[in-house]
A = this chain, B = another copy of it.
Amino acid sequence: MAIHPIDYRYGSKEMRQIFTEENKIQKMLEVEAALAKAHAAVGNIPKEAAEEISRKATTKFIKVQRVKEIEEETKHDLMALVKALTEASGKSGAWVHLGATSNDIIDTSLALQIKDALEIFRKDLIDILKLIAHLANSHKDTLCVGRTHGIHATVYVFGHKFAVWADEIMRHIERLEQCRDRVCVGKMSGVVGTQAGFGSHAKEIQNLAMQYLGLRAAPITTQIVPRDRLSELICLLALISSSLDKFATEIRNLQRTEIREVEEPFKEETQVGSTALPHKRNPINSEKISGLAKILRGTVIPALENVVSWHERDLSNSSCERAIIPEAFILLDEQLKTFKKVLEGLHIYPENIARNLHLTKGLIMTESIVLALVNKGLGRQEAHEIVRKCAMEVWNTQKTLAEVLKSNPAVTRYLKSEEIEEALDPAKYIGTAKQQIQEVVERTKTIEF
């Protein structure tokens, strides 16, 4: 029976596959194969031996079950794998793992897993970027109320929300690319990093092995690849996760009964909810995204603590990474996939957006009126005071700001009725919002990773 939700509930099949025990073993075998081939290439071992090892270095031949049996005896997981591969490779087995220390294989195969996982993130981020860009573009003319501190502030443009998100996603893509270059490195450097066990072609062996695997070689290491590389990545995953939390929180807030400008996708027929309340559509997907972000933020702490290691390595990163790496990757994957689903089916209610825009009866347009009065030559302080009094009247009565302004001689002395209407028109007071949206949307089209 499964215990941890990444084992039974969260994560896409493709992402979870990367972090299964089986795939971990598969990647380690690939590293052993690359090492054998590199040795052969520099003439350290027979080409045929390398070929035989490479042929056997797959979980088709090396069964997880067998590796686990050997580990039961030896209490050392990597040595168990080496033994199993040695067994399977017949007399070529003598050339398995030549000169290497366990961590040459462990760190390098981890880089392979990460590389595959980052490729999935890349795709998801780009899918999300496209969905957001589409929403931004679709609502570049939808006026809405802008809220600061949760309070109505001034007129805003609905699509601008999404354009802000798109810009943020593009930053994440850029960060991921920069970080990938630093984190996708492997090593063949031995017990303390000197490569003493690899003989005179050590450097070449390392370079060739990494080339076969599609990784860069770390320029210098101790027994382990320094953990600042991995810690940087975990911080970045937590950062992306927190952005998703922000987006999800926006959807949760906009879906509130009193606001209801958007709703997560739902199936009208089957997904009735437990009670009879038809309005009870809970933003459960967005809530899940927010919930998982908390865990991701928590993983940053062990990741940063792992940077510290005694001398040429201590082992305290090992147990820790066994848990936090699959967790961080699979939970972020769950968030990304969930967010994609939410965006794909997001319901947007223009009538509610419009209703909320006018909820304060024009009060959100006072700044525009002040500007109009000042443009007519009224002093700024005076204009402010006149408008403030009008606003108070709106607030204390059932009148709209338009009505109050039009019946106030101090205003009508400067502004004609149609000028008041114009200054109160939200559509006239959105600055460069539309242009900003369009520029961001254009930029999303140029993104590759």
Contact = CB atoms under 8 A, between A and B. Distances in A.
For this chain, the copies found in one complex come to: 4
Interface stretch (A34-42, A127-135, A306-314): A306-314
Contacts of A238: 235, 304
A16 B3 contact: yes
A356 B194 contact: no
Interface string A228-256: 11011001101100110110011011011
Interface string A338-369: 00000000000000000010011001101110
A242 B2 contact: no
A300 interface: yes
Contact of A307 (B228, B246, B311): B246
A12 interface: no
24 contacts: A2-B2, A3-B4, A4-B6, A4-B7, A7-B7, A10-B323, A76-B274, A147-B311, A151-B255, A152-B280, A167-B219, A194-B430, A202-B431, A202-B432, A203-B435, A232-B235, A249-B310, A278-B363, A279-B363, A279-B395, A287-B314, A288-B316, A291-B318, A295-B320
Nearest to A145: B257
Contacts of A368: 196
Contacts of A272: 388
Interface in A272-330: 272, 274-284, 287-288, 290-295, 297-302, 304-320, 322-324, 326-327, 330
A171 B221 CA distance: 13
A399 interface: no
Given A191-B148, A250-B311, A295-B323, A384 B154 contact: no
A357 to B, nearest CB: 11
A84 interface: no
Contacts of A290: 314, 316
A155 interface: yes
The residue in A228, A319, A380 that gathers the most chain B C-beta atoms within 10 A of its C-beta is A319
A6 B4 CA distance: 7
Given A154-B196, A194-B431, A276-B387, 13 more contacts: A1-B23, A5-B319, A9-B322, A150-B314, A171-B229, A220-B436, A249-B310, A278-B391, A278-B394, A284-B315, A287-B315, A298-B301, A323-B327
